[in-house]
Amino acid sequence: MTVHPHTPILLSEVMAALALAPGEHLVDATFGAGGYSLAALEAGAVVTAFDRDPRAIAAGAALLSRFPGRLRLIESRFSHMRDLLGDAAADAVAFDLGVSSMQLDDPACGFSFRADGPLDMRMGPEGPTAAEFLNSATEAEIAEILFRLGEEPAARRIARAIVQARPLATTGELAAVVRRALGSPKGRRRDPATRTFQAIRMHVNDELGELARGLEAAEAVLRPNGRLAVVSFHSLEDRAVKRFLARRSGLVGRSSRHRPAKLPAERPAFERPARPVRPSAAEIAANPRARSAILRAARRLAGGAT
C-alpha cells in the first residue's frame, strides 16, 4: 500500500477542537494515511497513532524519520489504547471512523464495488473475510446484517440472491449480484451495492462494537481538560458517538419533577459537547466523500469520572 499525502476531511475543524499545544500528547486512534498525525506533529505535539492495518503502519515510516522521538506507531485496534497507554495518558484523542481513503482506493483490500478485487473487507489481518462470512452464513443472518448495519430496505431480496449465487470470491461478483437483485431504477443517485458493501464491511470489522469500546478507552486515557474529537461518516456511527457524549456529559438520565430518576445518575466525565460540525460546501465540492462527515467534540472534565 502506497500512501500519498492528502488532506483529511474536516482537518482544520478537528485541529481546532483538539487545540494542541507544543509538547502535548495526541492519540490518533485511526492513523490511516497519517493526515491528523502529521498536522499534530507540525503543531509540535507528540503523537501515538493506532491502526489495525499493518500496511498503514509500515507506510508511516517516513513520518517516524521526519519527526524522530515524537511519533509512535502501534499496530492494534484503537479499543486497546487504554491497555497499551494507561489511564490519563493523553491530552487529546482523535477518531476518523470508517474505511480510509487509501483502503477504499486499493482493490486488493476488497472494500470497493467500483474495482474488482478479493472479497476481503478486513481492516486488519485477523478474523474471517467478507467472502467467508457470505459463503457460510444463513440467508436470515445475511439479511439481518444488511438491514441493521446497511439500513437496506431490500435486505431479504439481496440476501436470497447472495445465497443463490454462492460461492462468491470477488467484490465484482458481489456487486453484480446486488445490482441484478435491485435493478437500476431511474433517478438512483448512488450504486445499488452501496448499502450492502457498507453493512458487510461494518459486520466483518465489528465497527460499532469497536467504536463503543474505543470511546470508553478514550475517556479513560484522556487527562483532565483533555479533548476528544470524532469524525464519523455513517448515521449509526454518529448516533453512537452522540449518545455516548450525551450520556457521559450528563445530558441524558437527568431527573426532573415530571420524570424522577430511577437510578443514580453517572458522574459526568465530559463537558457539554460542542455543536456538531459538518464540512463546508467548498470542501464537499473538492472531495465528495466529505458530504456525510460530521465532527463531534467534547472536553474531559477536570474532576470527571474514570
Helices 235-248 & 207-221 angle (0-180, nearest 10): 30
Indicate the SS3 state at residue 160. helix
Neighbours of 76 (CB within 10 A): 15
**CA dist 209 to 49, 145, 240, Å?**
20, 14, 10
What torsion, rounded to 10 degrees, do the Cα atoms 20, 74, 287, 117 define?
180
User: In this structure, is the dihedral angle defined by the CA atoms of residues 1, 10, 240 and 27, taken in order, positive or negative?
Assistant: positive
**CA dist 256 to 177, 252, 259, 264, 265, Å?**
53, 11, 5, 13, 12
Which domains are assigned to the chain?
11-102+207-299 (3.40.50.150), 125-204 (1.10.150.170)
Name 209's Cβ contacts closer than 8 Å, sequence gap at least 6: none
The three cell numbers of residue 38 are: 502529521
Number of alpha carbons in the 13 Å side-chain half-sphere of residue 262:
0
Number of alpha carbons in the 13 Å side-chain half-sphere of residue 88:
10
> pTM for the whole thing?
0.88
Do β-strands 90-96 and 222-232 pair in parallel, antiparallel, or remain unpaired?
parallel
Neighbours of 239 (CB within 10 A): 12
Q: How far apart are CA 301 and CA 225, in angstroms?
A: 6
Q: Residue-wise pLDDT tens for the chain (306 aa)? A: 444 446 789 999 999 999 999 999 999 999 999 999 999 999 999 999 999 999 889 989 889 999 999 999 999 999 999 999 999 899 999 999 986 555 555 555 555 666 788 999 998 888 999 999 999 999 999 999 999 999 999 999 999 999 999 999 999 999 999 999 998 665 566 789 999 999 999 999 999 999 999 999 999 999 999 999 999 999 999 999 999 999 999 987 544 454 455 544 568 999 999 999 999 999 999 988 899 999 999 999 986 554
